[in-house]
Amino acid sequence: MFLVRSAFWIALIIWLIPSDPAKQAQMYETASTAIHRAATFCDRNATVCESAENYWGIFKDKAAVGAHMLGNLINERLAPSPTPRVTDGSARRGGPPALERVQPASDTLRPSDRVPEWRSNARTQL
């Protein structure tokens, strides 16, 4: 699909290029002038470029802080929690609580969760 889209846009650009040599020269001159004016914009508008440079520096600093915060957030979420938790069974019996290290979310089921619920063998008649 990428090749079809690329071929379409290249064909469109080629189709738009004029075939008359005088119009080709005019188009070349226009393109050269546009490129030259874009390249020398800061020479003609120094104050605009200075303020844009200041704003770009502020933007880069904010982006760096945001990326740092995002990295810290991801590291906090993916790192295993160092705090142990108390399991429910031993705390109810009155004994000392058994500590269990919290694991990442790869396997959150306890063995009691894996035991199927009781079902009677009696069939209900409809």
d(CA 28, CA 18): 11
Prediction pTM value: 0.41
Q: Which residues make Cβ contacts (< 8 Å) with residue 90, sequence separation at least 6?
A: 96, 97, 98
Residue-by-residue pLDDT tens, the chain, 126 positions: 999 999 999 999 999 999 999 999 999 999 999 999 999 999 999 999 999 999 999 999 999 999 999 999 998 888 766 555 555 554 455 555 555 555 556 677 788 887 877 777 666 655
The per-residue pLDDT for 112 is 82
